[in-house]
């Protein structure tokens, strides 16, 4: 484990079962994970699947203060997905839980298991809107997050009541 904590951002999504209940449960489980010191969640959003079919997703982003290294954090996220019955029968299949490591401090990483920053996050309203709720001054690829959001206004997204 790292000595100093790092701020990481994780995208959360579910479109099978009660997605909101699953995300609430996972946020508690993240807080209980060894090496994760604090969890702050964005509001929840409803979005249609992107490049897929199936029910609408419930999405959010969580800010984590963690001492886990990037691949160890990825392992913890994938273990949570598995615990919640995540299946991968085909690309973009509906899922009980999807956890994507979006950012890990200022780390840039190109590993066979993990690319940081997440290579498609700037193209997805279901990532950008909740990410902006947590980090409104964030810049991605040198551009303010609001500039990226302006480019994806055609993606329907609905903020859910708290």
Identify which of 104, 143, 93 has the alpha carbon closest to the alpha carbon of residue 122: 143
Report the run of H or E that residue 126 belongs to, with start and end: helix 125-134
Which entry of 24, 25, 46, 86 is annotated as an active-site residue? 86
- 124 catalytically annotated: no
- 100 catalytically annotated: yes
Report the run of H or E that residue 20 belongs to, with start and end: helix 19-31
- 95 catalytically annotated: yes
- CB burial of 2-30 (b: ≥16 within 10 Å; e: otherwise) equals eeebbbbbbbbbbbbbebeebbeebbebb
Can you tell me the distance from the alpha carbon of 160 to that of 134, in angstroms, rounded to the nearest whole number?
16
What residues are annotated to the active site?
Answer: 86, 95, 98, 100
């Amino acid at each position: 484990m790292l000595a100093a904590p790092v701020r990481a951002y994780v995208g959360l999504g579910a479109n099978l079962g009660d997605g909101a209940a699953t995300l609430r449960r996972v946020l508690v489980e993240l807080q209980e994970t060894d090496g994760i010191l604090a969890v702050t969640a964005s509001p929840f959003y409803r979005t249609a699947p992107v490049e897929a079919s199936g029910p609408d997703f419930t999405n959010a982003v969580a800010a984590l203060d963690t001492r886990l290294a990037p691949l160890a954090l990825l392992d913890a996220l994938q273990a949570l997905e598995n615990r919640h019955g995540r299946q991968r029968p085909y690309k973009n299949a509906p899922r009980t839980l999807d956890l994507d490591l979006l950012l890990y401090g200022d780390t840039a990483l190109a590993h066979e298991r993990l690319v940081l920053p997440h290579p498609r996050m700037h193209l997805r309203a279901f990532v950008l809107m909740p990410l902006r709720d947590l980090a409104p001054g964030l810049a991605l690829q040198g551009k303010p997050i609001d500039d990226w959001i302006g480019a994806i206004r055609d993606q329907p997204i609905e903020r859910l009541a708290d």
